Structure 1
Amino acid sequence: MTEAHPAQPTPSAAPEPTTVGRLRASGHTTRGTKQELRENLLQRLRSGETAFPGIVGFDDSVLPELEGAILAGHDLVLLGERGQGKTRLMRTLVTLLDEWSPEVEGCEIHDDPYTPVCVRCRALAAELGEDLPVAWRHRDDRYTEKLATPDTSVGDLIGDVDPVKVAQGRTLGDPETVHYGLVPRANRGVFGLNELPDLAERIQVALFNVLEERDIQVRGYSLRLPLDLFLVATANPEDYTNRGRIITPLKDRFGAEIRTHYLTELADEVSLLRQEAELVSEVGDALLEVLARFTANLRSSSSVDQRSGVSARFTIAAAEAVSASALRRAARTGDDEAVARICDIGVVLPTLLGKVEFEMGEEGRERAVLDHLLRLAVAATFRDRLGGLDLAGFTGVFAEGAVVETGELVPARELLTQLGSVSGLSKVLDRLGYGDAASRGQVASAVELTLEGLHLTRRIEKETVDGRTVYGAA
């Protein structure tokens, strides 16, 4: 999976256009795509540099297998449930390519200037010799991705006869009448095929030659076009039986099948949220931990259809919605700053129901299941963060008959005024990472987590009416 957005290096300027003769004189040598990936990966491994920037949680499982497949030169399938970072991992492979790569200028399939393979470039090379013009291609342009859909055709992937070229006077037997598909246009790069089982079986057959003989055939043309590419596909295990399957001969042609998984460490899940979620207000680490534990609870619950899985996008959407709820409160109440609180999670739960598939027997109980699992997540975070801390100052407030009302539109200043001065609050703020410099919004967030935790551990009462929560109510 992923962690905080890695800083994107500024691309260097492209080398000057040149000719094949000058390129050869400069000492430049061409490497095959898989060799390029292998050698650049080895260089990163030897230097201790991160081979796959931005990926976390896979260090001891997925990445060693992926590195092995790349070093072996194997095309591969990333197999895993939805929202396990398969596409992100696939797109990261392009960072292992050289930043700039030479190609025959104007070539549709990006021919190697030293050994062009298409009819046009071979003719140009024969005519111009060492003066064959060379252009430079950035590695970002050497990644091609296609979402496999049932209506994808062989022409889309491999190519077809171009009627425009035929109308211009070329004969049907002329190889130059071919319009190349996405696969040959990805020549000398990485081709990613998302959701491979959704590709019709008869279309999957068209990939046989690409993976084994490394060439393509178009409409019966006597056209041998050796391709130099690294092919990686993604699939969901359930797709084999529900929507489609990867046909056995095609599976056999992939060198490796690598299983991905959901994150197992809480810190990794929080890192994922910090990277992927676009937070429009402050969401503290403790609250992100609640969301991470909430998602983990969903993934282990017998009430949830685990064959469908609970995507990382669920957690991301939850974090974004919680931050938006805090921003709305600040706008409506005049709070100086927008800081998310526990009450914001309950507000956004209904918007998340569509992202979870429940078991048949849970029909009508979906919201109750989410509420229960959320309470477990809050209680676990409270114990982890504030366990062992003397919170008698908080419980003492309510022992004297006081009540504190909160909710999505209760501003921080009102919440803190109701509670008043509480002994032990500074220690709570320290445990939650705020310290003495905590703002009013951060203090309110810490207080609300503490009050909810005390309620869930049965140390204070709580009553919820019309979206407003009253702590201390009998």
Structure 2
Amino acid sequence: MTHAPTIGTVGELRASGHVHRTLRTEIRENLLAKLRDGVDPWPGLHGLQDTVVPQLERALIAGHDVVLLGERGQGKTRLLRTMVGLLDEWTPVIAGSELGEHPYEPVTHASRRRAAELGDDLPVAWRHRDERYAEKLATPDTSVADLIGDVDPMKVAEGRSLGDPETIHFGLIPRSHRGIVAINELPDLAERIQVAMLNVMEERDIQIRGYVLRLPLDVLVVASANPEDYTNRGRIITPLKDRFGAEIRTHYPLGLDAEMAVIRQEAELVARVPEPLLEILARFTRNLRESSSVDQRSGVSARFAIAGAETIAAAALHRATRQGEEEAVARAVDLETALEVLGGKIEFESGEEGREEEILTHLLRTATAETVRQHFRGLDLALLVDAIEAGAMVTTGEQVTARDFLTGLPVLGESELYDQICDRLGATDDGERAGAIELALEGLYLARRIGKDSDGSETVYG
């Protein structure tokens, strides 16, 4: 953040050559400038660059209000918040103005009176772009007063008449004048509250308790909604839908790389989680989204994989703390811990009652097998299979350290198979090496080349 300009009066502002731009012009020109200079206007968004982002950019260039439709966890809120980066870093406002009006264009009675009285001495303050974004979660108890405004009884008690425009206490949308107001889960707003937004969206004025205030509001309204909300919890009324210039469908990441990028970016990991485990979680999430046993109308949020990564990292730190390991590194054995806590994030089809754990386990194993095939394709693991068939057993578990696991591996003579397994995954230290070999063993088990017995605390491959 740079320092705010030092200009303090409207006279100095005019002398500086400042030109007032409407909000939509400001967003349009800043977006086009970023595109022209090759700067990404949407940092931190993955998997939407070729689908959703171009639609949104066209809507903003056209100056349209926007509603994003999509299932939970598709990045709708992040996309809306990123729009703040398209605003000027600092913008001048009338000092003390309730609505943050531009010094050249006061809109309230109080600001017009001050501008007429003070002329070029009208004081100017500077507002950062972060202050020009307002967000409201549309809860059923939201009122017209919250969004639009109401008569302030305290101002009436001071002696003003009810018809005085200065008795109005403005709501969220007027206070977002010259900024962006985002409404999350728009269908949850009661229909009568949505009606109150009609004038704001089209005529750009507000009506409060019978008083029509012709305030030329300069505000961009953006919203998010789950398509299923039209039938489940509520709907966007038709006149309001008609006032949004653009209705854009979002989606989950289309590729595995984008899915993993979201996990890396969003997960707050307390231990090191190797890339193959993130890949398994990403594949697991994608498998759930394709499963006929899962209610796809509800969707499988990106938060599912993020919470999974955070859980296996926590399991690794728990083990390292109890067993005295120097560094906490997640391993394949920790994936089971994620299943125990993530089931509640998924809505299953009604016919699958009682089979939830079985479905999750099956799809996790499928994801693990896919990852093993991807990374160990062409690697001959026959020596390890032969050693286990000859009676060797390998023990692992949530509380088995990496060093103990590696020490318990069967000796394969002069073979460099273990090194080859680790090289495939780029494993260097004990934690990563143990994780790589564990993953290879799990792959052999899933391919039915070796057996596995687990009692919850220990897992034995044999």
Aligned to 2:155: 165
Q: Mean alpha-carbon deviation: is it higher for 138-147 or for 381-390? A: 381-390
CA distance in 2 between counterparts of 1:295 and 1:157 reads 37
Q: Deviations over 1:183-221 (max 9, x none)?
A: 000010111000000000010011111111111111111
CA distance in 2 between counterparts of 1:48 and 1:418 reads 54
CA distance in 1 between counterparts of 2:156 and 2:19 reads 38
Choose from 371, 378, 382 the match for 2:368: 378
Aligned to 2:343: 353
1:241-260 map, 5 Å: 241-260=231-250
CA distance in 1 between counterparts of 2:310 and 2:249 reads 28
Aligned to 2:419: 426
1:168-187 map, 5 Å: 168-187=158-177
SS for the counterpart of 2:46 is coil
Mapped pair 1:92 → 2:82:
yes
Give the paired residue count.
459
1:112-191 map, 5 Å: 112-191=102-181
Displacement of 1:421:
4.8
SS for the counterpart of 2:208 is coil
Displacement of 1:326:
0.6
**What letter is aligned with 1:255?**
G
Q: For the Cα contact (< 8 Å) 1:66–1:258, is it kept in 2?
A: yes
CA distance in 1 between counterparts of 2:299 and 2:128 reads 37
CA distance in 2 between counterparts of 1:378 and 1:222 reads 63
CA distance in 2 between counterparts of 1:16 and 1:269 reads 45
Displacement of 1:427:
2.1
Q: For the Cα contact (< 8 Å) 2:147–2:172, is it kept in 1?
A: yes
Aligned to 1:278: 268
Choose from 366, 384, 387 the match for 2:377: 387
Aligned to 2:12: 22
Choose from 175, 186, 191 the match for 1:196: 186
Displacement of 1:152:
0.6
Choose from 296, 305, 319 the match for 1:315: 305
Mapped pair 1:448 → 2:438:
yes
CA distance in 1 between counterparts of 2:445 and 2:212 reads 76
CA distance in 1 between counterparts of 2:335 and 2:453 reads 17
Runs of at least 5 residues in structure 1 that lack an aligned partner in the other structure: 1-10
CA distance in 2 between counterparts of 1:315 and 1:431 reads 24
1:208-247 map, 5 Å: 208-247=198-237
Normalised TM-score (structure 1) = 0.95
Displacement of 1:306:
0.7
Displacement of 1:332:
1.1
Q: Deviations over 1:15-71 (max 9, x none)?
A: 114111110110000111111110000001111110111111011100010000000
Q: 1:421 to 1:335 in 2, by over 3 A?
A: farther
CA distance in 1 between counterparts of 2:82 and 2:223 reads 13
Q: Deviations over 1:211-261 (max 9, x none)?
A: 111111111113111110111000000000000000000000000000000
Aligned to 1:13: 3
Q: For the Cα contact (< 8 Å) 2:365–2:446, is it kept in 1?
A: yes
**What letter is aligned with 2:391?**
G
SS for the counterpart of 2:91 is strand
CA distance in 2 between counterparts of 1:393 and 1:439 reads 23
Mapped pair 1:366 → 2:356:
yes
SS for the counterpart of 1:122 is helix
Q: For the Cα contact (< 8 Å) 1:77–1:254, is it kept in 2?
A: yes
Aligned to 2:256: 266
Q: For the Cα contact (< 8 Å) 1:291–1:318, is it kept in 2?
A: yes
Q: For the Cα contact (< 8 Å) 2:149–2:170, is it kept in 1?
A: yes
Displacement of 1:375:
0.3
Q: Deviations over 1:405-447 (max 9, x none)?
A: 111111111110110555222222222123xxx1111111111
Runs of at least 5 residues in structure 2 that lack an aligned partner in the other structure: none
Aligned to 1:7: none
Q: Deviations over 1:280-311 (max 9, x none)?
A: 00001100000000000111111111111111
Displacement of 1:394:
2.3
Percentage of identical aligned residues: 63
Mapped pair 1:398 → 2:399:
no
Q: For the Cα contact (< 8 Å) 1:17–1:133, is it kept in 2?
A: no
Choose from 255, 268, 280 the match for 1:290: 280
CA distance in 2 between counterparts of 1:109 and 1:21 reads 21
Aligned to 2:94: 104
Q: Deviations over 1:151-190 (max 9, x none)?
A: 1111000000111111111111111010000000001011
CA distance in 2 between counterparts of 1:145 and 1:402 reads 60
Aligned to 2:325: 335
Displacement of 1:372:
0.3
Aligned to 1:4: none
Aligned to 2:36: 46
Normalised TM-score (structure 2) = 0.98
Q: 1:358 to 1:71 in 2, by over 3 A?
A: same
**What letter is aligned with 1:97?**
L
Aligned to 2:46: 56
Q: Deviations over 1:291-345 (max 9, x none)?
A: 0000001111111111111111111111101100010011111112111111111
CA distance in 2 between counterparts of 1:27 and 1:366 reads 66
